[in-house]
Amino acid sequence: MTAIDIQESSEPRPSEKLLDVFEERMTDIWRRGGFDVPDPAGTARLVRLLLDREGFGPTATVLSDSGVRAEWNRVFAEERSDFLARWLGEHLHGPLLDVLGGDFTVGRALLRHGLASQALTGCERSYAYETDWSQLPFPVHDVPPDLALPAGPYACLLMSTVLHHEPDVVALLDAAAELDAERWVVVENCLDADNDEDFHLYVDEFFNRCLNTFEVPCVPQHRTVDGWRDLLGHYGTVTAEQVRRDVPGMPFPYTLFVVDR
């Protein structure tokens, strides 16, 4: 490998503790299956050093040139999406709106797992992702600044790792409530003793700037499980809740909330 001339970054530097945790989590997710990353521990150490000294931009270049970026995105697109489709599928039924579904890899996985394409509609801010919606096997609508979501009727709404990116979470939930769907299925990565707000925000920025070029806000809207349960309880009854710590590619757990209305 060519020697890297490490320069100090002008970005605010994360704490040593945060980088230690991220290095440990990278090693763990690369070792637990699904990744083709040689020497996970050594690669995680290199990424940690780059993030510490050079910041996101040069780290993104190294991840791209080394193939780690492509491999991580493959795991997101294939294995994480299939994992979520299997996990969430029993709670979902059509007609379904995938709210702010990003590049819709989860929606496409739901189709592979048996959801009919005519039962699925997506919506997203058109500027946020470099995706050609016309190539998808279901309709996708643009979400305007006033958060007017596409009219249904819908039986279910899916909001998968969406809410913590919203500067005004309540505004999105209020817009969702206007659609009168009888069920919401919400997935969030939550604050806990091992995953504080600083860590979540840093990983959000890393994903947006080192693995992709998403125009998705990274805002301090993460909540604890209790916090999300209380907020969602204003819109219905949380009838199911489950935590998974083995989501492919993810350095923190996901929590599922089923809200019946």
142-186 confidence digits (pLDDT tens):
999 999 999 999 999 999 999 999 999 999 999 999 999 999 999
The superfamily in CATH containing domain 84-260 is: Vaccinia Virus protein VP39 (3.40.50.150)
Per residue in 90-139, pLDDT tens? 999 999 999 999 999 999 999 999 999 999 999 999 887 777 888 899 99
Helix spans in 54-190 (H): 56-66, 68-74, 81-89, 105-112, 169-177
Number of Cα atoms under 13 Å in the Cβ half of residue 191: 14
Of 217 and 37, the structure prediction assigns the larger pLDDT to: 37
Predicted confidence band of residue 1 (pLDDT cuts 50, 70, 90): very low
User: Is 80 exceeded by the pLDDT of residue 216?
Assistant: no
Secondary structure (3-state) at 136: coil
Mean pLDDT, to the nearest integer, of 48-55?
96
Cα distance between residue 89 and residue 106, in whole Å: 11
At residue 4, the pLDDT reads 42
Q: What pTM did the predictor assign?
A: 0.92
pLDDT at 128: 78
Judged by phi (left if over 0) then psi (alpha if -120 to 50, else beta), residue 100 lies in left
User: What are the structural domain ranges in the chain?
Assistant: 16-73, 84-260
Give the number of other CB atoms < 10 A from CB of residue 84.
24
Which class for 54: exposed (0-12), middle (13-18), buried (19 or more C-beta within 10 A)? buried
Is pLDDT at 8 greater than 60 in this prediction?
Answer: no
Residue 25 vs residue 133, higher pLDDT = 25
